[in-house]
Structure 1
Amino acid sequence: MSCDGNRQGPVVALLKRLIRAALLLVLTALLPGAGFAAEPTITDALRGFAINHWSLEEGAPSRINAITQSADGMLWIGGVDGLFRFDGVTFEKVGGDRRLIVSDILAARSGDVWVGLARGQGLLVYRHGRLESAGMPNPSREINDMAEDRSGAIWVARGGRGVLSLARLAGGRWQEFGAASGLPEQPVWNLLVARDGTLWVVLERAIYRLPPGCARFQPTGLGVTPRSSLAEDAHGGIWLSDREGTRRVARSGGGKIEQGQRLLHPEPAGGTRSLFDRRGDLWEATWSDGVVRVIDPLQRGPGSKVTRLGMAGGLLSSQTRAVFEDREGNIWIGSELGLNMLRRVPITVAPGIPANSYSTYRLAAAADGTVYAAEAAGVYRIAAGADPVRVMATRSPVEALCAAGADGIWAITHEAAFRITANGRSEFAKPRPFIAQACAQDRDGTVWMPALDDGLMHLRAGRWGSWPGLGPGIGDPANAVILPDGRAAIQFRGTMPAGPTPFVAIDRRFDHVGGIEGLLAGPGMLLISGATGLEAPMQPGRPFLDKARYPWTASLNGLAQGRSGDSWGFGDNGVFQIRTADLLRALERPGTAVAIRQFDFRDGLNSFVQKSGGSQIVVGGDGRVWFATRRNILMIDPEAIMRNSLAPAVMIRSILAGRHRFNAAEGLTLPAGTTRIEADFTATSLSVPQRVTFRYRLLGSDEAWTTVRNVRQGIYADLGPGHYTLEVLAANEDGVWSKEPARLHFSIARAFHQTLWFRTLAALTIGGLLYLIYSLRLRQVSGQIQQRMLARTHERERIARELHDTMIQGVQGLILRFQAVADHFADDPAAQAVLMPALDRAEEMLVEGRERVSGLRRADDRDLVSEVERLMSEQLNSPGVLAPLTVTGKPRRLLPELVDEVLAVLSEALCNAVRHSGASRIEVGLAFGSLSFTAFVRDNGIGISNVVELPGGREGHYGLIGMNERARTMKGRLRIESAAGFGTEITLRVPARFAYLPGDAPIQRKAAAESAAAAPDRKASA
């Protein structure tokens, strides 16, 4: 396109328009039928779409002016209430409490979001998580439109002014355009950057354009009305919508200007916003008359089908200003009372068949693939690739519909049975009235019609009959289906009388599924479905698919095989598609995992399955699947099912710690003491956000992934200070997962009591306290032992005094008296022979008594090693058996009261070894260790019996019991090791803190002669 452009003046352009109009009037007068094409009908705006909306009560903004989608997939909505982000679930207001009146929004390729404001507030840009001023000079009353060109420059249409109404931001610098650039002084309403790079500018009364590389705007010669808009189709054609209608004004390639024929009646205010969607349909938002959709205008031209959608058709309001298509193909409509979304769905309503029939809908597929449907007033034929066409009107509702062998179908009414084929129909009047619940023609040509209380009716070769033995309350036939071998299977609600039948009777004896709800012709077999699952009653082992493992198997009312190796089911859970091979595999090996695709109310289903006999779902010869609901007949075309291949973008929004919420940001540090967090995240899959699946994990706490559906929050507890990484993945409704997880690195600060120095100090403090407690306890125990020792010492001294003052003094007095008697009979040899030996023995007893008293008073000075040696020397009957005493370690002083206890234990052990062991060697040892004191007696004799070792020992023998009691008294432990024929070892071990005297100075061993030298002294003293 030349930069010279069309330089014709406005007068020339006006003359050309007048000439074209005059020629058009002449042609209209001369040629009948010439002129504008007949106005298309306005009908069925929502066919193929499901509509969702978010009202003001659900948090949506009101009076929406603009909608766009940023690079991260978030939907941006602007209006009188401000600026909002929307993830399909939650509306998030952007800008805080600032009063923003948004007139337009533009999502740039860089990820920035440009926000045009009204009331002279200028232009803002959302960048790096915050709104900031764009610094636009000379703000106008409002910004009407914005566009981004190939270079990334932002063009701004500034409304409410005629001078410098167009501005551009490029390279960080603003430039304003006016008359010097070729633009007339008019307000700018709309901007369009075409695929070829041309900038189209819609002014108040004209359209100008700026081709790539040109410096001046060129007039197009097109006159318009105010508030007009442009849209570009998939082939580069430019379309104009204004009060005169919608028409193409430029073709692709060279941008040749034309005056195309209009597609729509003139709108009161024209289309305020218009766009071509990815399928080529044209959408226009009007001020007050909803949204208009022109279906495929490029292919059909002026005869295109036009639909209109307003408040009566499901929108929240007919006052619409914004229309937008997101990257998943959903159409968003901003209205005065909230946000609307149109999503293409696979389930559509069968056109031409009345909805809400007062009788049950019926379906059947003929052998040639033609589908037939029936409602209260007629029967419809649905040929391959065509819409339903009524082929018969009925006086009464059709009660049953089924295939008629190789040609046509049977339609059963209250009065007759009709066979309908492509060549016409035949009527067979009923012999008596009955209500057929279903019908099925078997391989022999018999048409079976279960009729509950009226029994089982059948029609063969034009003759009516009924199966004998059935009647009110007997059998109650309710449904019928043809098996793969051509026989009919008849379901009975009661019990079928015994006897041979040409059909297969399925009665209550077959009910293992919680009540038979569906009698189904499965792939090569009969299936029955109920509240608990699906069963193949005639297969070996009667395989059963439990609803706990396969939820889709419960309460199925229809099953049909498709043309591409798949099966289609219909029940309380909606419609599902499954590979037939997978279904057979699951029936062969119940528990095998199978994949299904579910379709429900989010996919265009608008009512529930009928609970009645006959086929509820059929597949036509063209592969289309038809199913009957309580409201109407619906259809799915498997070839038209779209798969959402767009992986959702995942974002971590915030973290709640305690009562404070923190926006997600790298390097986020949560307060010290945080142990529980709630992480909020989202995914920008807008088609069916309720089916989005999330996986998340918190590295540093839990490495395992947690999978949830339609839950956008993760909760973690029992956290401590440290560094963590939260990872989140998401999958859309078709299971397409995001390639990389969203990550948030954050940390939890340490409280002062969680720092290393505090823990070290606390450990030292606790250790000191424990040591203090230990010391106090040790001092307490030592004090108790010392008290006992002092008490025993006092008792020994008392005993010593008593012995000295009573027995020893008395004995000494007696000796003196007997000595006087002996002296008196000094000359009597016979008396001397008697008295002198008695006196010598008395002297010995006196010396021994003095030694005992001396021992009691000198307990602190006793040498344990010497005492043990003396104890061993007293064992006179063990010469050569008793080995010398073994002493290990440097001898230390024992607490005084322990000496007697140790000697008592050793004495008992030594005596037992000498008397009972029969040993050839007995060893005694003492070990003065730093941690404990140990004494032992070891022999190589016959060992100790188990009975002796048991608690209590043998009756009348208390030696071992006494040793154990003495060991416990010393805070020690007695251990007995023995085996028959291998000797015995008895070991006494006492902890050092309970055994030794404080200070425990080494014992100075006294010479043995010291003890011997004391004997003359004692005798002399005596």
Structure 2
Amino acid sequence: MSKMGSLYTLSVLFLLSMEAFSQSPLEKVKFSKLTVALSNPSVSCVLQDSRGFLWVGTMDGLNRFDGYDVTVYRNEQDDTTSLLKNAILNIYEDSRSVLWVSTSSGGLHVYNRQQDNFKRLPQYSFDCEVSEFHEDDTSLWIAGVRHNKAFVNQIDKKTNRHRYFELFDSHSPVHSLIPASDHEFWVGIRERGLFRWNLKDNQIYRQGPPAESFHQMVKSSVHDLWIATGKGLQKYNAATHEYILYNTHSTPALPIDNVLNLCMDGKYLWIGTENGGLCRLNTITNELLTLQSNKNDPASLPDNSVHALCKDRQGRIWIGTYSHGVAVIDRLGEKFMEVDIPLGNAVVNAIMLDSKQRLWVGTEEGLIVKSPQGLKHFRHTAAKESLQTNPVLSIYQDIQQRIWVGTWGGGLHRYDEEHDNFIHYMPDKKNKGSLSDANVFSIWQSSETQQLLVATYGGLNVLSDEHTGTFEHVREKQYEFNNYIHTIYEGKKGDLWIGTLEELLRYDHTQKKLSRFETATHSDSVHVGGLCNSILEDSRGRLWVGTAKGLHLLINGKFKKRYTTRDGLPNNIIQSILEDNAGNLWLGTAVGISRFSPDDGVFRNFDIADGMPGNDFRPRACLRNDNHQFFFGGKGICVFNPDSVRENPFIPKVVITELGILNEPVKPGDFGGILKDQISETSTITLPAEYNFFSLKYAALNFTSTAKNQYAYKLEGFHTDWNYVGNQRSVMFTNLDPGIYTFKVKASNNDGVWNEQGTSLTIHILPQWWCTWWIKLSAIVFLGAGILTVYRLHIRNIKKQNKILELQVRKRTEELAHQNEELTQSQEEISAQRDVVSEQNLELQAARQIIEKQNKEITTRNETLEAEVEERTRDLVEYNQQLEQFAFISAHNLRAPVARILGLGHILDIGESDLQEIRSIVEKIVFTTEELDCVVKDLNTVLDVRRNSTTVIGAIKLREELRLVKINLEKEIQETQTLFIEDFSGGDTLWAVKPYIDSIFMNLIGNAIKYRHAERTPIIKIRSEVQGDYLHITIRDNGLGIDLNVCKEKLFMLYSRFHWHVEGKGMGLFLVKTQVSAMGGKIDIESCPNEGTCFRLSFKHAPGT
């Protein structure tokens, strides 16, 4: 036997709970893989035993699986307790929990649970294959083929007497054995078909047409038999003797004729085929569902050849495949579904179900409409009537049944259904009544005024005339951040709530303004302190606001409470909110969906392990349909019925799976026989003192989302309380004192249902040999005798010495009395002197402390002064150098235009020029003057940055700044087909001067495009990360690069240029360096000619630092 770890990610292959979910064309049949490190990927049989372990037979070994680890059993040479062969045919557990294992080409074994090995049954060892088992109240029936004869062996369970039946000559074994009556069996033979066997006279009769490849038979009712054959699936009614054949030509049609195995699951019959996948037949309605592998779909069946099917005690369907191991269908783990829409990698930003039951899906890559007629895609194209941009942020259907679409960077669109295109509403600087901003986050129609409200980063827009595209602009004047509007929501009383970057406001349509109001904790607004992503008024009139900082509760417009991860949320970013019929809130977050009960304040969190397509959901991307189905959008669309999200009710069995000593797993007989039986079958162990350093592993035998199984343990005699350790499955103990301990472990399933009883193991740790009781008793006896002898001798000696001492004491006492008088007098003198010295020492110590303090202050002041002098000196040197450069360049750049103007003036003074020549001179003077004006503007720009007189530090969203720069450079980007790779996950917010950041991005990105390499597509990579107190921004291109060995010293000098084939002034890098320094930042460069350039900008991360 060998242990192999397995990466076990339990997930559900296919959602089939028809009671839990109503039929809908939106629902997607989902498959996931179950990856288990088996001994061989070709599976022949699967069984869950009464202990809860899963046994998997393969073509090369037997595997026992506990949900985490696999124990492999194979033939071991010279070990008669191992398997006889490695190819497993069948596994069966009888009513007494005896596990039977048959192998190919001979071999039947009984598993010894205590010793974790096998007993071989010699009568089945050679020229015999056991392929079928059956058990009734009195007997166990074993069937197969032996010496080319099909046989059945009856074993009486009370007397263990055997009754052997030979049926007929056959090279094929018995594949199925099902009772037909008290004395008759239905018998299926691989190459012969179905027979009826009478035990009384041992006669066998053919029943129905022959089947060339009989594989398996199951019984669904008293009379109905289902037979898997190489020519299809047969249904046989024993009462009417009627056959119904299901094959590739029947209705319904199988995907292939070769049916290998069957498994009854209530009204469903699971059908495993060879190369045709897995089918599910409703035996009542005759509906057939075929599930097949798709190499382009990672969520499909892993292999189309299904060689084993098994239903376990919790209702899971385990599937053994020919080449991809084991998969499982688990109703308990699949609480959620995915809408069947081909999204690719697109993220879903908005979803809406219109009055015609069409599902509108807004993604980063366009708009998708799913209807009973099929799918329709809308993307940005060259056509004038298409979407202006692909990213769709919001979708809304108004009272007139018209569809409105909000985009990022493309403004507002109205869908023209008649012409199947869009009418656009875009910002226009020449038209004050146009849309104020091109980014539309939310759309809502007022039920009172019927006006359309549009949320943008330019404030609230109220559509007053849709034909002319005229909007009224509503802005909050006091706080600019309130004009970054993300959410619009209308309450039941007609209140229009507006969610901004920081606050929740109300829109007063009569006064056409955003109002701020009194709250319980703030005097001027509901300051939620984070981006308002979603708003919902529940059935009890309470207002819930989802923000980037948690879930906020408002009652009557007053803030009451904020819920965060400390209260049980999985994440503080609340993206969307829905309410179910029971009053629970369902919250889409950045790490899954949470169900919140407002009455008891309890959160129940779900994630991708529960069947969701992804964990990250998007703001306001949610809806509830008339069937009470909930939809949440993010990575795919998650759909579910909240009433059907039920918890796994099964209490998991808990087993101790491994004892470890000296970092080695202990098997029966190891380490001097510490274990007589394997640890899972052991209740008490005794450890010598040298083995008081040991470990234990344990497992909850729950195969549904095992990563969510929870554990707790305690060692009685050492711990007083339970240790709750999450999903940790092992514990180590070191240097335990001798004594008797009881190790207890309990566990929960994936939904928090605990097995409080758990399991336990008594551990007796022996003392060292010298600490045993008989050693201690002997030592006490010998020590007592020795002490008594020594005591008697000592008493005798003491008496003798006492007499001598009495004489010496008298004499010595007289001498001491005289000396004591002298010492008393001397002591008084010394005491007086000590008092004087002590006072002097105190005075000296105080003076010394004062001097040391003054010396430290002087030293500190000197060091500070030296640092300030050095810093001021560096600043003066740098400014002098810059001033010298500035003066030189200014003189140089101003001298040339002035000289030209003077020269042209002298020409005019001559007075003999004709009119044409004068006009030419005047044009040159104008051109030269414009050139001079350009120089002066450049110098003013530099001086303005140096003065830093109008800069305002504020929070800047780097992703937004980059998007704006890309819009400004849109023409250059499209002409050069420049590609951008952006990663702001390391930090998206920078406290800096917005105009400077705009200028820095514009110059660096513009240079990257301008100085691109002619032979490759320009690629610009922009990344941010926080390290310590600094936010670093890296801008990397694959352009021409700069030779730093030649140009490094003048890299950031004014009017420095390094490539002369492209027009430029040499101002960009000097201005970037100046602006970065003005904000207290640093800039570094890496560059290599013909490979590209990388700029690294470093700024203080927090404001005011």
Task: Assess, with a 3 A threshold, how the Cα gap between structure 1 residues 132 and 347 changes in structure 2: closer, same or farther.
Answer: closer
1:273 paired to 2:258? no
3-state SS of 2:609 partner: helix
1:559 paired to 2:564? no
Task: Assess, with a 3 A threshold, how the Cα gap between structure 1 residues 723 and 759 changes in structure 2: closer, same or farther.
Answer: same
Letter in 2 for 1:116: S
- Counterpart among 67, 79, 101 of residue 46 in structure 2: 67
Task: Assess, with a 3 A threshold, how the Cα gap between structure 1 residues 861 and 306 changes in structure 2: closer, same or farther.
Answer: closer
- Counterpart among 159, 163, 180 of residue 149 in structure 2: 163
CA–CA distance in 2 between the matches of 1:431 and 1:572?
A: 31
- Counterpart among 230, 235, 244 of residue 231 in structure 2: 244
CA–CA distance in 2 between the matches of 1:699 and 1:185?
A: 61
- Counterpart among 535, 555, 560 of residue 520 in structure 1: 535
Q: How does 1:422-501 map to 2 (within 5 A)?
A: 430=425, 434-444=438-448, 445-453=450-458, 455-459=459-463, 462=466, 464-468=470-474, 475-493=483-501
CA–CA distance in 1 between the matches of 2:646 and 2:222?
A: 23
CA–CA distance in 1 between the matches of 2:216 and 2:279?
A: 15
1:616 paired to 2:621? yes
On the 8 A contact 1:311/1:317 being kept in 2, the answer is no
1:119 paired to 2:105? yes
**Aligned residue number for residue 66 of structure 2:** 87
* Cα deviation 1:307-348 (Å, max 9, x = unaligned): 324666544444442222222222222232422223235455
**Aligned residue number for residue 834 of structure 1:** none
On the 8 A contact 2:112/2:118 being kept in 1, the answer is yes
Letter in 2 for 1:120: G
Displacement of 1:541 in angstroms is: 5.1
Q: How does 1:779-790 map to 2 (within 5 A)?
A: none
Task: Assess, with a 3 A threshold, how the Cα gap between structure 1 residues 737 and 350 changes in structure 2: closer, same or farther.
Answer: closer
Task: Assess, with a 3 A threshold, how the Cα gap between structure 1 residues 144 and 764 changes in structure 2: closer, same or farther.
Answer: closer
On the 8 A contact 1:188/1:201 being kept in 2, the answer is no
Letter in 2 for 1:441: Q
Letter in 2 for 1:598: N
Task: Return 395-404 or 596-605, whichever deviates more.
Answer: 395-404
Displacement of 1:761 in angstroms is: 5.9
CA–CA distance in 1 between the matches of 2:208 and 2:49?
A: 35
- Counterpart among 113, 125, 129 of residue 143 in structure 1: 129
CA–CA distance in 1 between the matches of 2:516 and 2:113?
A: 72
CA–CA distance in 2 between the matches of 1:611 and 1:437?
A: 12
CA–CA distance in 2 between the matches of 1:131 and 1:431?
A: 77
Letter in 2 for 1:687: T
**Aligned residue number for residue 292 of structure 1:** 278
Displacement of 1:502 in angstroms is: 4.6
Displacement of 1:369 in angstroms is: 10
Letter in 2 for 1:307: L
Task: Assess, with a 3 A threshold, how the Cα gap between structure 1 residues 542 and 618 changes in structure 2: closer, same or farther.
Answer: same
Task: Assess, with a 3 A threshold, how the Cα gap between structure 1 residues 620 and 895 changes in structure 2: closer, same or farther.
Answer: farther
On the 8 A contact 1:166/1:177 being kept in 2, the answer is yes
**Aligned residue number for residue 323 of structure 1:** 309
Letter in 1 for 2:291: T
CA–CA distance in 1 between the matches of 2:514 and 2:68?
A: 54
CA–CA distance in 2 between the matches of 1:773 and 1:618?
A: 96
* Cα deviation 1:696-740 (Å, max 9, x = unaligned): 222233242222222221333342222222222222112222263
Q: How does 1:581-730 map to 2 (within 5 A)?
A: 581-582=599-600, 586=601, 594=602, 596-612=603-619, 615-630=620-635, 632-662=636-666, 663-664=678-679, 665-730=682-747
Displacement of 1:601 in angstroms is: 1.2
TM-score by length of 2: 0.58
Query: Which has more radius of gyration?
Result: 1
Letter in 2 for 1:448: L
Q: How does 1:875-894 map to 2 (within 5 A)?
A: 894=809
RMSD between aligned alpha carbons?
Answer: 5.0
CA–CA distance in 2 between the matches of 1:177 and 1:267?
A: 39
* Cα deviation 1:160-206 (Å, max 9, x = unaligned): 86413443433434443224xxx564523521436977743211122
Displacement of 1:77 in angstroms is: 0.9
Task: Return 325-334 or 336-345, whichever deviates more.
Answer: 336-345
* Cα deviation 1:135-161 (Å, max 9, x = unaligned): 362546563622222136343343586
**Aligned residue number for residue 186 of structure 2:** 200
CA–CA distance in 1 between the matches of 2:792 and 2:529?
A: 76
* Cα deviation 1:93-147 (Å, max 9, x = unaligned): 2468446321211122221111001132344444544443353625465636222
- Counterpart among 191, 197, 209 of residue 176 in structure 2: 191
- Counterpart among 339, 343, 351 of residue 330 in structure 2: 343
On the 8 A contact 1:366/1:404 being kept in 2, the answer is no
On the 8 A contact 2:460/2:483 being kept in 1, the answer is no
**Aligned residue number for residue 290 of structure 2:** 306
* Cα deviation 1:745-790 (Å, max 9, x = unaligned): 231222212212434566789999999999999999999x99xx99
Displacement of 1:599 in angstroms is: 2.1
CA–CA distance in 2 between the matches of 1:531 and 1:601?
A: 21
On the 8 A contact 2:101/2:111 being kept in 1, the answer is yes
On the 8 A contact 1:351/1:388 being kept in 2, the answer is no
CA–CA distance in 1 between the matches of 2:114 and 2:240?
A: 39
1:110 paired to 2:116? no
* Cα deviation 1:658-708 (Å, max 9, x = unaligned): 345434223421122333331111121111211112222222332422222
* Cα deviation 1:578-614 (Å, max 9, x = unaligned): 22433xxx4xxxxxxx2x33221112112243445xx
Task: Assess, with a 3 A threshold, how the Cα gap between structure 1 residues 609 and 642 changes in structure 2: closer, same or farther.
Answer: same
3-state SS of 1:187 partner: coil
Task: Assess, with a 3 A threshold, how the Cα gap between structure 1 residues 957 and 347 changes in structure 2: closer, same or farther.
Answer: closer
Task: Assess, with a 3 A threshold, how the Cα gap between structure 1 residues 652 and 347 changes in structure 2: closer, same or farther.
Answer: closer
Task: Assess, with a 3 A threshold, how the Cα gap between structure 1 residues 729 and 348 changes in structure 2: closer, same or farther.
Answer: closer
Displacement of 1:86 in angstroms is: 0.3
Letter in 2 for 1:77: V
CA–CA distance in 1 between the matches of 2:765 and 2:395?
A: 69
**Aligned residue number for residue 841 of structure 1:** none
1:101 paired to 2:87? yes
Task: Assess, with a 3 A threshold, how the Cα gap between structure 1 residues 496 and 271 changes in structure 2: closer, same or farther.
Answer: closer
**Aligned residue number for residue 675 of structure 2:** none
CA–CA distance in 1 between the matches of 2:201 and 2:588?
A: 62
CA–CA distance in 1 between the matches of 2:662 and 2:144?
A: 47
CA–CA distance in 2 between the matches of 1:953 and 1:782?
A: 43
CA–CA distance in 1 between the matches of 2:138 and 2:27?
A: 37
Task: Return 646-655 or 713-722, whichever deviates more.
Answer: 713-722
3-state SS of 2:285 partner: helix
3-state SS of 1:673 partner: helix
On the 8 A contact 1:352/1:389 being kept in 2, the answer is no
CA–CA distance in 2 between the matches of 1:496 and 1:570?
A: 20
